[in-house]
Amino acid sequence: MKIAAVLSGEVIDSITLKIPERKKLQKNLEDLFHRLGGKNPLNLKLPFEVFRGDRFIGIVDTPAESLRVALLIRAYLKSDFYSGQSIDARISIGMGTITYRSPNVAESDGEAFQSSEQLLTGMKKHPNRVEVKSPWKAFDDELNTGLVLLETIVSRWTGPQADIMYLKLLGHTEVTISGMLGITQSAVNQRSTAACWNAVDRFTKRFHQATLEYSK
């Protein structure tokens, strides 16, 4: 059966948010998933659901893009331009088969769902905010080690840097981003460099390549 990725996530410390902030958070998440499920440079098609106001779950039918999607979510939540709340999320990536698809994503089932939910529960004891669990141990060992290093970069993104990372992860060029944000291309490049875009891009591409190699 075809391998898919299921992303399960929860916003960190959402209990500290006041009711208006919780409502804004849910709307921001719903807007994000609607945007990613529509027309975008990556042509992503993502059935996602937000529940309890601070949790979400979704299917990425192209598992090689699952890390990019997880980073897009985190960049969006940390950004000034889109969210303005400077919050973060813990996201588990479960890869495997899906044996039952319900119109309500959270009611679906299969290896990918089970791995994602189990992983998210265990992640509460870890400093890492993105982890992966797949049918391939060697894949998990390599990529989770890389994700530990990646976390030292992502956790330090400022709001303005997260704006740039979100748009770059979507595939926009620095020239396009300059026009979208109303800043110079030099400013875009400076923020991109400070946010370690080259390292993020390289590891995201390695994740993509490794997923294709193991899922053959």
Q: What is the CATH number of the domain that holds 86?
A: 3.30.70.270
State the total domains in the chain.
1
Q: Is 58 strand, coil or helix?
A: strand
pLDDT band at residue 42, thresholds of 50, 70 and 90? low
- Domain of 185, in residue numbers: 4-214
- Range 136-147 average pLDDT: 97
Structure tokens at 50: 């937000």
Report the distance separating Cα 76 and Cα 87, nearest Å. 9
**Torsion 115-129-26-182 (CA) sign:** negative
- Range 25-53 average pLDDT: 78
pTM: predicted TM-score of the whole model, two decimal places: 0.93
* Cβ-contact 55, 48 below 8 angstroms: no
Radius of gyration of the chain (CA): 16
Does residue 205 carry a pLDDT above 70?
yes
pLDDT band at residue 44, thresholds of 50, 70 and 90? low
Does residue 197 carry a pLDDT above 70?
yes
Give the residue with greater pLDDT, 165 vs 43.
165
